[in-house]
Amino acid sequence: MSDAIVSSGFIDAAQQSGEQPFTDLHEVYVSASGYERLFYGRRYGRLHILKALKPVYLGNPFYEEALRKEFSIGYRLEHPHIVRALGWETLPELGHCIVLEYIDGMTLRQWTDDGRLTPELARKFVRELCDALGYLHNKQIVHRDLKPDNILITHNGNNVKLIDFGLSDSDDYDVLKLPAGTRYYLAPEALEPGQPLDCRADIFSLGIIVGEMAELLKDKRLAAVSRKCTRQHPAHRYASALEVVQALEGKKPFPSRSKWLVAAVLLIAACAAYLYWTADESAVSFPVYGNRSMPIEQWADSVPLTNHPQSF
């Protein structure tokens, strides 16, 4: 039976033997200071985003490896509030590129500039951002470039989608471990070459974003959360994205295991001290016959003198 008979006519049977090429490719964004550019492209009727290098960086080993690192980090992530990296391809017109899911939405900056932000949505956005950051940090990944331009808000549902892992860092890569990102949102330690960064660098950047929301909405709780997120010393900030959410909702952080252990030891010590100081010696009993017992005075009187040790 021929392919012409098998095919329904809706999809070209010749294209089913391999990957369909992208159509309608057109450039939609070029980074002013970075190394990347973005394209729209269609495949099987679906719109995708393709991230490629600027022409001047094509073939440069450093930037080629940086793009591959971004794909490697993004491809392992699957979270409802993080954009998905779908594949890695080489196109004649673009060179190596990352294929990303298309998000129908706008950046958080555009959202706030349009006057759409409300206190309820601000809290929703922060919770969803913290959910995404907690997921990243559990995988030992630091985003390093958290800012309103890298946060998309979907038109359908007003959901957060974190994008752009071009400057992200993980334990298994040593490429691009140097000060990078948007200076206004960077933690102080991120400006120091060779300084190791952990999740608290992202917490600082998140705090700047929350502070901008607080100023726009005149929201005291958001402002309080922002102040602790953006403390200069990392140890004085929230230790995790979960703590940020708890503070936003007015909950106290859940005590750590060590705090529970100290509390248990103190409680046991207090109970022992109480029993010691309130015990009535006259009520102390000693076993005599099997399970029977008697008061200490009666026990002493009942013991024959010959049982007592003699002095010589």
Which residues lie below 8 Å from residue 264, measured CB to CB, with a gap of 6+?
Answer: none
Joined tokens for residue 229: 């997120």
Coil, strand, or helix at residue 27?
strand
Q: Can 145 be counted among the known catalytic residues?
A: yes
What does the DSSP assignment read for 114-167?
TT---HHHHHHHHHHHHHHHHHHHHTTEE----SGGGEEEETTT--EEE---TT
Across the beta sheet with 23-30, the strand order is 23-30, 36-43, 46-53, 95-101, 85-91
Coil, strand, or helix at residue 205?
helix
H-type alpha helices, 181-256:
199-217, 220-229, 241-248
Catalytic residue among 12, 24, 104, 145: 145
**Which residues are part of the catalytic machinery?**
145
